[in-house]
Structure 1
Amino acid sequence: MVSERGLEVLRVIVQDYVASREPVGSKSIVERHSFGVSAATIRNDMALLEDEELIAAPHTSSGRVPTDKGYRVFVDQLADLRPLSAAQRHAIETFLGQSADLDDVLARTVRLLSQLTNQVALVQYPSLATSRVRHIELVPLTPTRVMTVVITDSGRVEQRQVDLSAPADESVLADVRARINAALGGAGLSDAAARLSTLAEDFPPERRSLVAEIATALTEQVLANRQDKLVMAGAANLARTEQDFTGSIYPVLEAIEEQVALLRLFAEMEVDPGGVSARIGRENEGFGLGETSVVTSGYSSPGGSVARLGVLGPTRMDYSNNMAAVRAVARYLSRVLGDA
């Protein structure tokens, strides 16, 4: 059983090791922190922490470093989520508030989160599997070319250009647009695709070819990118911390690029909006990320679903700062998307 002082010793070992990357000894603890006890007493506390496998000696006669278990106790019991400064909060509000659409706001989010934490930042797109069609727009570009635009309730916008086999005037397109929105408005993406497959049959014979061409493009759009995906930034931050990994960082970089492992890991983590969760070191071995930690929170999309954002880095990371930043950015992102 670890005493209260022992937990405080663990706290300063984590904090000092994260700050310096140097093993922490009892002498430096006594000199740097006000425990009011001797170095011998601190050594006894450290011995108990070592017995509990919360710290370990990387070399003979060296100081101690936190283990994955030690980081877990720190995150669960000792981490102090310091509020962001007024300047940081203002930067988040200003930077995210300038976003033009969902793609832009998520791209800005990962750049901002990477800068705040010096880690790899990850943001999951709101799931399109549960999205619904908010609006369909048909924009005539030329008599034989139309831009089809699909807008979902999660804020996603898909658009493409369609070359028609025959000219179509604006009044015809307006009628087609109105009837398509009546048929698809509020429909889930899978239902929308099914409705589009028979949509041309509801039109007069002279318009069926035009409607079929438009419906084909719209079907591809509503089904496009339905699988989950991530936006990322800050891979260079991982390269700067290469010393924190015992082997090569390339497997970690490959996992980040692959996305599949990260999406599976995200799916296992808590996603309550406003909450923060962390997976540390060996807890991530099944995903090929056994030397990394992932800190995530959930954010709310306009469609009501909850998606995840977070940071990934070595286990030697500033958990308190990173957790506070992830939580704050998630809250601001929910607010920005809620106002969209």
Structure 2
Amino acid sequence: MALSTDDRRREVLRAIVADYIASQEPVGSKALLERHKLDVSSATIRNDMAVLESEGYIQQQHASSGRIPTEKGYRQFVDQLHNVKPLSGPERRAISSFLEQGVDLEDVLRRSVQLLSQLTRQAAMVQLPTLTVSRVKHCEVVALSQVRLLLVLITDTGRVDQRNVELDAPVDDEDVARLRDLLNSALVGYTLTEASARLGHLAAEAPADVRQAVIRASTVLIETLVEQPNDRIILAGTANLSRMAGAVSNTLPVVLDALEEQVVILRLLANVPDLGNVSVLIGDEIENEELRGASVVTAGYGAEGATLGGLGVVGPTYMDYTGTIARVAAVARYVSRVLTGE
């Protein structure tokens, strides 16, 4: 059955976007007929291209050249991607194997951005888990000497913080064990914000003979919980942008400067979609002005329905959206699996 006029024009737009992504060369009507089975005359194709241009989906850079997609055209293309081609078996196994070799959460996330930058040939970014959803898993207390302790705080997102505590009086092994139990009674199972408040009460209510040690340890832990930055970003593959043609290379210094600003990346990752979904921002849809010559694809990672952070890539508007969306989604999914031990 023949396509309706609107369906055919959507197919023509899809073909133009796909060809331009593959070649970064303007696409003409003759090339479309040769490469795609559109089953219409060249005159019909030229008419469809004229309509698509008048509607703002494609544009002509020079009078004698073919057409290239506009940001509106890319958006239409992305919105029509109902089924993204899944990764191949070898690709999935390679991602899983590489991430599972991570020694802790930060190593897993560092590996994830390395993978994304290699798989997509774009700049990749990941945000370390936010403190608001992290819960304390355990606090270990190790006596380095009679007046110095090592506190090791471990969260359920894999974050590990180590801090030294200087005491004003010696403690023995029994005191260290009591201190460990007291701290864990206030910390384990609570979010870091909740745990910080509970430590304040613990210091006031602790047994007199270990109160000073509890106060010293609690003060250090509160500083770790409250003041430790929770918005660290890991970047990889920014050099890939230097090989891009078109809008990104024309504004490359501005884009690279923007990527160096942690607050810019945090804004990109602040509103990642629910787990299992992928967000695509194209050109002017990006809040940051310096990145409006680019496109951003992001996804969230997490565990038990809670999004712990975001990851994604920044690349040109002519990026391979189908492949990029699939790879960002896959890496986010595997990071989540590593976190939950599945």
Other-structure match for 2:340: 338
What code does the residue aligned with 2:294 have? T
2: CA distance, partners of 1:2 / 1:315 = 27
1:17 aligns with 2:3: no
1:124 aligns with 2:127: yes
Contact 2:85–2:326 under 8 Å retained in 1: yes
Contact 1:79–1:319 under 8 Å retained in 2: no
Change (3 A) 1:316 1:229: same
> What does residue range 95-244 of structure 1 map to in structure 2 within 5 Å?
95-241=98-244, 243-244=246-247
Contact 2:275–2:307 under 8 Å retained in 1: no
Other-structure match for 1:70: 73
Change (3 A) 1:153 1:287: farther
What code does the residue aligned with 1:295 have? V
Change (3 A) 1:71 1:243: closer
Contact 1:129–1:226 under 8 Å retained in 2: no
Identity of aligned residues (%): 51
What code does the residue aligned with 1:203 have? A
Contact 1:301–1:307 under 8 Å retained in 2: no
Give secondary structure in 2 for the equivalent of 1:274.
coil
Contact 1:2–1:49 under 8 Å retained in 2: no
After superposition, the CA RMSD in angstroms is: 2.2
User: How many residues get paired?
Assistant: 339
Other-structure match for 1:274: 276
2: CA distance, partners of 1:303 / 1:278 = 21
Contact 1:133–1:186 under 8 Å retained in 2: yes
Other-structure match for 1:87: 90
Other-structure match for 2:306: 304
Name which of structure 1's ranges 180-189 and 272-281 shifts more when overlaid on structure 2. 180-189
Contact 2:242–2:249 under 8 Å retained in 1: no
How far the C-alpha of 1:80 sits from its partner, in A, is 4.9
2: CA distance, partners of 1:29 / 1:311 = 30
Name which of structure 1's ranges 214-223 and 194-203 shifts more when overlaid on structure 2. 194-203
Structure 2: runs of 5 or more not aligned: none
Contact 1:301–1:337 under 8 Å retained in 2: yes
Alignment equivalent of 1:290, drawn from 265, 283, 292: 292
How far the C-alpha of 1:321 sits from its partner, in A, is 0.1
What code does the residue aligned with 2:274 have? D
2: CA distance, partners of 1:164 / 1:109 = 40
Alignment deviations for residues 256-277 of structure 1 (CA, whole Å, 9 cap, x no partner): 12121232233344x1211112
What code does the residue aligned with 1:225 have? Q
TM-score (norm 2): 0.91
Give secondary structure in 1 for the equivalent of 2:15.
helix
Contact 2:133–2:308 under 8 Å retained in 1: no
2: CA distance, partners of 1:94 / 1:263 = 28
2: CA distance, partners of 1:130 / 1:275 = 19
How far the C-alpha of 1:226 sits from its partner, in A, is 5.0
Alignment deviations for residues 154-194 of structure 1 (CA, whole Å, 9 cap, x no partner): 22211123333443332211110011111222222223222
TM-score (norm 1): 0.92
Other-structure match for 2:40: 37
1:259 aligns with 2:262: yes
